[in-house]
Amino acid sequence: MDLLLPYDALVLLSFGGPESAEEVMPFLRRVTAGRGIPDDRLEAVAHHYHLMGGRSPINDQNRALLDALHAELRRRGIAVPLLWGNRNSEPFLVDTLREAHEHGMRRVLVLTTSAYASYSSCRQYREDIAEAVATLADEGRTIVADKIRQYATHPSFARTNARLVTDAVRAAGQPDDALLRVAFVTHSIPVGMDDTSGPGDGEGNLYWHQHDELSHVILDEAGITLDRNLTGSLVFCSRSGPPSQPWLEPDVNDYLEGIAKDGVTDVVVAPIGFISDHMEVRYDLDVEAAETAERLGLRMTRVPTVGVDPEFVSGLVDLTEERAAEAREEPVDHPAWPGEAMPSTCRPGCCPNLRVAKSAACGTD
């Protein structure tokens, strides 16, 4: 039996990014549509892309992930087609699903390139799935899309990150624990978005909590492996929005300023909030944070993202098999470490859209 039945295809859904200088501003306008952000502010962000030749690294990384997923699926004897759609750049999700329908596919499984619970990292993807499915329905095309659960709490994600941080601490070459810190970096989000992250009947702040819990687990695992007493903090990057709106803090650069004043000489920067080295990593960390560290006299070691690490990719395929078994109504184990497994079908009120009510797929509301 094909382990991904009843699905006709597996769809990788990503944020997307420009592939040329001419695509940068249209891409940024799509990303910020409906927020009233003027072009002059977008131009400041566009500068980051132009420093990289006008090309975001994210699409090439998606291509690499597709290749890695394809290899792992074939290794397991799973012959399901593997498709790719983006939210904000070609190939757009609606076009991918339309083509899938034209080839006779009627039920697909979606794997997103975002691991955590929040509006921007989960529900917004679900809104885009719902919009694409509705657009096709208006064209007379019926297609069903399910998704795997968010995987920030899947053991493969934690184990891979812990191993990468352990290797980076070892490579940093600073034997004195008092002189070394580990900065666990993720994308900042508005405080209100974090307050409402997680199910509607939950306590909120699940986005922050998942990162915080993972960072502590990684410190413990690396410390045990290296026989060290490591210290670290959760910090944030890529803040946007008006200054009057509170976002999660501290910013990674402010954190570096603080530890330098405390006499720390070495910092290991671990981007656990991202699965690949896209713009927030390549610019915010490899350019801005690196410049800050150099100015402060800090030796900075940047940890790789999980990317196409075989253990991480194998875990993603485990999650596709898990979701397919759920769809077949078979008994399913939901391994989780640290924390609890998130459901593949989100509960009512989960990670709400605080600006406008929109339909979202793969949920019960």
Distances (CA, A) of 217 to 23, 62, 270: 40, 28, 13
- Which of 294, 336, 303, 324 is CA-nearest to residue 232? 303
Distances (CA, A) of 2 to 74, 78, 120: 11, 6, 33
Residue type, 257: E
Residue type, 85: G
Task: Convert 65-109 into a string of H (helix), E (strand) and C (coil).
Answer: HHHHHHHHHHHCCCCCCEEEEECCCCCEHHHHHHHHHHCCCCEEE
- Tokens 């959760």 appear where? 234
Rg over CA atoms, the chain: 20
Rounded CA gap, 308 and 68, in Å? 6
> ω into residue 38 within 30 of 0, thus cis?
no
CB–CB of 30/40 below 8 Å? no
Q: Which residues make up each annotated binding site for Fe-coproporphyrin III?
A: 56, 125
Q: Which residues make up each annotated binding site for Fe(2+)?
A: 187, 280
For the beta carbon of residue 261, count every other beta carbon within 10 angstroms. 9
Q: Which residues make up each annotated binding site?
A: 56, 125, 187, 280
